[in-house]
Chains A and B, each alone.
Chain A
Amino acid sequence: MARHLAEYLEASAARYPLRTAVVDSAGESLTYAELDSQSSALASFLASRGIGRGDRVGLVLPKGLAAVVSIFGVLKAGAAYVPVDASAPADRSRRILTDCAIRALIVDGGCLDVAPDSDGSAALAALITVGENGSGVSNATSWRDVLINPINPINPTNSIDPSDLAYILYTSGSTGMPKGAMITHANALSFIDWCSETFVPVPDDRFSNHAPFHFDASVVDIYLSIKHGASTHLISDDLGRSPKDLARFVAERRLTVWFSTPWILSLLVQFGQLSSHDGSALRLVLFGGEVFPVKHLRELKRHWRSAVYYNLYGPTEITVACTAARIPDVIADDREAPFPIGFPCTHCRTRVLDRDGQPVSEGDEGVLYINGPSVFAGYWNRPEETAAAFLERDRIRWYNTGDVVRFDSAEGFTYVGRQDRMVKRRGYRIELGEIESALYAHPRLREAAVVSLPDANAGVRVIAFVSSDAVSPPSIVDLKTFCATKVPAYMSPDRIVFRDRLPRTSSDKIDYQALLAELRAEGK
């Protein structure tokens, strides 16, 4: 039994040193021996700068071999990694890296502006730049120099405890500031063990890695494949956005395991020309993160016939998935209802409780609570929000997913909706409040209210209502451009609507129900 995540790599490198561990979009690859030694060189470098257990290392890197080496290098040093979206606005990334007080930063040379301000206490012990753009930055060490760093014979992984943090993933926060979910080695190991039992990977498997590393689905692509001596095929941001090229990639790499959000699979069905690309090597297709429109899933199964399909459900806080549903081999032509999220994974326990914390009867709606070894350690530096996320019953701490479900003994859990203002879009969690905060930062807006509506094609649409009392109010183009500097692209509103003033309730709060009613009326 592994005690920490880097042990997967160490064991596979000992067993399969010359097998391919990871391949990037361009075809560059690393064997297990290479990935192991490069990550050890990084770990030794970090240790030489005093970075180890209890520290956090920021990763702001495009999808590539260096990012995978960095993940294992940080873990081997005993530290936790904090992967941040290299394409997100630098200001947001900097706030995240400052929030969790990283001690080292491994950054693409083009993204150096994310580095936290170097005031005394927050000074970085190491700044490592990857790629050409970063050469010549003062105080920085180039990636090339890190890789030739002599490997320290004393292995820092010996001191890692399973309860140590492995990584922190930031998710959208309702107040405008993202919050960091802390995942321990034990959390991730328990989930990966469940994957091993359920999906039985073999060394000949070739995994896709579509999810960016700041998205927790990537945990499957990296750790499950490495644990079993398989290879993982990194999909760059550009490739990941181009359905035609993705379909060709699946065929050329003869991928056997695919995991992504339904969003990208829907795009593959619509724009990927799947009938002219061979997907017959696929044996397993996993999806999760949001509802998969049945018409697209049915169509996908017509093209990728050999695969078994699973719908995985779970918030980042419980480590990727806590329930799973195997999709039937045949989907009835007249089925429109999305598939259920299924039954609890064997490492998780579930409860469905009403508003008063009392269990509901089978078939009734309630909020889903999770307990088990994969439930996270809390939000970084946010004791109050952490406490609010749990409910104690019979001396067991249950994590409140905020998702409303109902249970049926034949199909398992069916997802009904949310308790709060969080929406899922393209697999990402979005707090509508964070978009509002971004809009309120615009100097010429007076009010902003963001709502969402389900959409048959896009899954969900995000609509912002705004008002301005400026002499020359911003245009919609101005506001879209402004949003792009504040929030990642997946959070930008689909539509921005100007109003002289926004409707208010009798208690002078923005009347969201009135705005929604307006949109629904318009849609009819």
Chain B
Amino acid sequence: MEDIKETIRQFILTTYLPGESRDNLRDDTPLLTSGIIDSLAALGLTAFVQERFGVELDVYETSVERFNRIADIAASVERRQTQGAGSAGKAVR
């Protein structure tokens, strides 16, 4: 979980907040409602997360409620990864 959050944080810092120090972007800093990430950036971040972690996020997982904080995004990723592993297991059986 910590790794996921850190990877997302580094991506946001380098892509959308160059020059900002790591401490100012906390796990619970609002991203969408604060204006740090706009709709275009949200698409870029979604694409990054899906590719980097090999998951597919649904529309509701990129809504303001589920995509507003690094902690929430990481939770969605983790949930998806667990589900993905589960269904892969089923396929093997």
Query: What A residues does B62 contact at CB under 8 A?
Result: 242
Query: Out of A243, A426, A458, A477, which one reaches B20, CB within 8 Å?
Result: A477
Q: A476-B20, A497-B19 are in contact. Are A458 and B40 (CB under 8 A)?
A: yes
Q: A483-B35, A489-B35 are in contact. Are A243 and B43 (CB under 8 A)?
A: yes
Interface residues of B in 30-53 (CB under 8 A from A): 30, 34-36, 38-40, 42-43, 47
A483 to B43, alpha carbons, bound, how many Å? 21
Query: What B residues does A245 contact at CB under 8 A?
Result: 59
A170 to B40, alpha carbons, bound, how many Å? 23
Asked whether B4 is an interface residue with its Cβ less than 8 Å from the other chain, the reply is no
Interface residues on B, range: 20 to 34
Contact B19 A481 (CB under 8 A): no
Report the minimum CB–CB distance from A168 to chain B (whole Å): 26
A477 — nearest CB in chain B belongs to which residue? B24
A98 to B63, alpha carbons, bound, how many Å? 33
Query: Out of A238, A244, A484, which one reaches B35, CB within 8 Å?
Result: A484
Among A483, A489, A490, A496: residue with most chain B CB under 10 A: A489
Asked whether B55 is an interface residue with its Cβ less than 8 Å from the other chain, the reply is no
Contact A475 B43 (CB under 8 A): no
Q: Digit string of A173-210 for contact with B (CB within 8 Å is 1, else 0)?
A: 00000000000000000000000000000000000000
Asked whether B18 is an interface residue with its Cβ less than 8 Å from the other chain, the reply is yes
Report the minimum CB–CB distance from B57 to chain A (whole Å): 11
Asked whether B21 is an interface residue with its Cβ less than 8 Å from the other chain, the reply is yes
Query: Out of A244, A267, A477, A484, which one reaches B17, CB within 8 Å?
Result: A477
Contact B18 A480 (CB under 8 A): no
What is the interface of chain B, defined by CB distance below 8 A to chain A? 16-21, 24-25, 29-30, 34-36, 38-40, 42-43, 47, 59, 62-63
Known: A477-B36, A480-B36, A495-B18. 17 other contacts (CB 8 A): A238-B63, A241-B43, A242-B59, A242-B62, A243-B43, A244-B59, A267-B40, A267-B43, A475-B20, A475-B24, A476-B20, A477-B25, A477-B29, A481-B35, A481-B36, A484-B34, A489-B39
